Amino acid sequence: MKKILSYIPIILLVIFLTSLKKSSTNDTLTTSNSDKVIEQKVDSVLALMHLNEKIGQLVQYSGKWNATGPSSSKTDQFKLEKLKKGEVGSMLNIASVATTRETQKIVMDNSRLKIPLIFGYDVIHGYKTIFPIPLGETASWDLDIIKNTAAIAAKETAASGIHWTFAPMIDVSRDARWGRIMEGAGEDVYLNKVVGVARINGFQGTNLTDTNTIAACAKHFAGYGFAEAGRDYNTVNVGEFELHNTILPPFKAAAEAGVATFMNSFNEIDGIPATGHKVLQRDILKRDWNWNGFIVSDWGSIGEMRNHGYAKDKKHASEIAMNAGSDMDMESYAYEANLERLLEEKKITLAQLDDAVKRVLRVKFKLGLFKDPYKYCNEEREKNNVFTEAHLAIARDGAKKSIVLLKNETNILPLSKNIKSIAVIGPLANDKDTPLGNWRGKGENNSAVSLLEGIKNAIGNNTEIHYEKGIDLTVPNIKPGSNQFLHPLEFNNTDNSGIAAAVDAAKKADVVLLAIGENAYQTGEGRSQTNIGLLGLQNELLKAVYKVNKNVVIVLMNGRPMDISWAANHIPSILECWFLGSESGNAIADVIFGDYNPSGKLPVSFPHNVGQEPLYYSQKMTGRPSSPKHVTYSGYQDAPKTALYPFGYGLSYTTFEYKNLMLDKTEIPTNGEIKVSVDVTNTGNRDGEEVIQLYIRDLIGSITRPIKELKGFEKTMIKSGETKTIHFTINAETLQFYTINKKWEVEPGDFNVWVGGDSTTNLKASFTVVD
Residues noted as catalytic: 298
Computed over its alpha carbons, how large is the radius of gyration of the chain? 27
* Bond before 614 cis per omega within 30 degrees: yes
Alpha helices, DSSP H, located in 523-645: 538-548, 565-570, 584-592
Q: Give DSSP secondary structure letters for 455-472.
A: HHHHS-TTSEEEEE--S-
Sorted by sequence, the CB contacts under 8 Å of residue 259 that are 6+ apart come out as: 200, 204, 216, 217, 218, 293
The 3-state secondary structure of 470-524, one letter per residue: CCCCCCCCCCCCCCCCCCHHHHCCCCCCCHHHHHHHHHHCCEEEEEEECCHHHCC
CA-CA distance, 168 to 203, in Å (whole number)?
Answer: 9
Backbone torsions φ then ψ of 61, nearest 5 degrees: -110, 150
- Pick left, alpha or beta for residue 127 (phi over 0 → left; psi -120 to 50 → alpha; otherwise beta): alpha
> Going by C-beta distance under 8 Å and a sequence separation of 6 or more, which residues neighbour residue 331?
60, 61, 62, 299, 300
Distance CA 721, CA 702 (A): 45
Contact assessment for residue 281 and residue 202, using Cβ atoms and an 8 Å cutoff: no
Write out the DSSP string of 62-81.
E--S-SSS---SHHHHHHHH
Round to whole Å and give the CA distance between 398 and 395: 5
Query: CA-based angle 49:55:58, to the nearest 5?
Result: 115
Please provide the DSSP assignment of 335-402 as one string. HHHHHHHHHHTTSS-HHHHHHHHHHHHHHHHHTTTTT-TTTT--HHHHHHSSS-HHHHHHHHHHHHHH
Strand 511-517 and strand 552-557: the pairing is parallel
Q: Check residue 238 and report its DSSP letter.
A: -
Other CB atoms within a 10 A radius of the CB of residue 225 amount to: 28
Helix (H, G, I), strand (E, B) or coil at 718: strand
Q: Where does residue 380 rank: exposed (0-12), middle (13-18), buried (19+ CB within 10 A)?
A: exposed
List, as one string, the DSSP characters of 150-206. Answer: HHHHHHHHHHTT--EE---B------TT-GGGGGS--S-HHHHHHHHHHHHHHHHTT
747 Cβ contact partners less than 8 Å away, ≥ 6 residues apart:
670, 698, 701, 702, 737, 739, 769
Report which of 294, 314, 312 is spatially closest to residue 302, judged by C-alpha positions: 314
**In sequence order, what are the beta bridge partners of 663?**
676
Beta carbons of 274 and 235 less than 8 angstroms apart: no
The rounded distance, in Å, linking the Cα atoms of 672 and 81 is 62
Q: Counting Cβ atoms within 10 Å, is residue 552 exposed (0-12), middle (13-18) or buried (19+)?
A: buried
Residues with Cβ within 8 Å of residue 509, at least 6 apart in sequence:
421, 422, 423, 464, 466, 549
